[in-house]
């Protein structure tokens, strides 16, 4: 999950941002880390240094540093598991909040999880509590926050089916509980990508069921993911979104199928290559740069465009060196 916000209406120069961040780091030397490589915080293992990093463990800490960033005029990014992110080679010119809110609680059939809890850990802990429904998500990387923001799903299900309520931090500093309807959940999307609200916590409604059967389904999904997805080479998962169905009752067409038929397997740019077992996954074979990945993705899109006349849309989001979003409606990337 990645939430980015330009705190002020102006657009301060990098030198101003560096100076402001140095001032903030000097005031909080035990909390703010400087020049932290984003390649260490993303599953692609790509990206230059963030000027500053704060590890956030509670909603109050998130609020505190959002306000401090505003006070110092700093661009702000909130990062979860970094599983769907392509960070810029230059890094990020601002402050990164690394969300490590990993709380978990059960009340009846409802489970409440912090945004920083690993999505797969939520699946396992729910089963341990005797609740089923999320086994479809077994093995999906990233965090609960990223899953909600991108309405993550597979095998015909999405997390939005189970969401009952969520807690968000507004850009103006209010912490509020919101309904699923207000999040406008859609295929791999939600209003959180553009509203500027930072997801802190999510409550899902599950059900009692045969945990043994659910665990068997979970193991099958994990085994399938191990066969189809890279586990040695760094990647960000599926790079492009699946295509809309041809009819309301139909299923989405897999982008990987079109890419495979377009002959992208074997394509490579620098250290970035198309994964041999899945045409919709780009892997970092070692030393890949953001520029390598973007160039390879452009070649893959062009191949599908030329063969089928279809324009693929990226699912992996690029975090640029400088945020250029509307300060009143900052982009929320996952």
Tokens of 286: 């070692």
Instruction: Mark whether 315 is an active-site residue.
Output: yes
- HSE value, Cβ hemisphere, 13 Å, CA-based, for 139: 20
What DSSP element (H or E) covers 16?
helix 14-27
Tokens of 131: 């609740």
d(CA 201, CA 57): 12
Catalytic-labelled residue, pool 188, 190, 201, 323: 188
Secondary structure of residue 13 in the 3-state scheme:
coil
Tokens of 174: 């209010």
Secondary structure of residue 109 in the 3-state scheme:
coil
d(CA 234, CA 232): 7
Catalytic-labelled residue, pool 201, 315, 317, 323: 315
Report, in angstroms and rounded to the nearest whole number, the Rg of the chain calculated over CA atoms.
20
Whole-Å CA distances, 142 to 72, 248, 292: 30, 30, 23
Tokens of 52: 């500053």
Q: Mind telling me the catalytic residues?
A: 188, 238, 315
């Amino acid at each position: 999950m990645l939430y980015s916000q330009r705190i002020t209406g102006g657009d301060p120069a990098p030198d101003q941002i560096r100076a402001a961040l140095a001032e903030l780091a000097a005031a909080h030397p035990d909390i703010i880390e400087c020049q932290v490589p984003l390649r260490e915080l993303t599953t692609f293992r790509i990206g230059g240094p963030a000027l500053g990093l704060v590890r956030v463990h509670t909603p109050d800490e998130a609020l505190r540093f959002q306000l401090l960033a505003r006070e110092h005029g700093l661009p702000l990014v909130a990062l979860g598991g970094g599983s769907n992110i392509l960070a810029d080679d230059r890094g990020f010119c601002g402050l990164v909040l690394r969300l490590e809110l990993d709380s978990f609680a059960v009340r009846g059939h409802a489970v409440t999880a912090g945004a920083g809890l690993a999505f797969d850990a939520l699946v396992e802990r729910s089963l341990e509590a005797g609740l089923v429904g999320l086994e479809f998500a077994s093995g999906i990387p990233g965090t609960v926050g990223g899953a909600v923001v991108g309405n993550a799903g597979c095998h015909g299900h999405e997390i939005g089916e189970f969401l009952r309520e969520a807690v968000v931090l507004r850009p103006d500093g209010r912490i509020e509980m919101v309904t699923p309807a207000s999040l406008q959940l859609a295929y791999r999307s939600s209003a959180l990508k553009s509203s500027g609200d930072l997801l802190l916590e999510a409550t899902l409604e599950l059900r009692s069921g045969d945990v043994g059967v659910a665990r068997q389904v979970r193991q099958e999904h994990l085994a399938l993911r191990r066969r189809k997805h890279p586990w040695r080479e760094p990647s960000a998962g599926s790079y492009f979104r699946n295509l809309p169905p041809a009819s309301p009752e139909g299923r989405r067409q897999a982008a990987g199928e079109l890419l495979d038929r377009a002959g992208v397997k074997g394509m490579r740019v620098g250290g970035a290559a198309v994964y041999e077992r899945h045409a919709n996954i780009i892997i970092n074979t070692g030393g890949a740069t953001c520029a390598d990945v973007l160039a390879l993705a452009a070649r893959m899109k062009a191949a599908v465009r030329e063969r089928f006349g279809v324009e693929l849309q990226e699912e992996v989001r690029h975090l640029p060196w400088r945020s250029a979003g509307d300060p009143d409606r900052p982009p929320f990337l996952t």
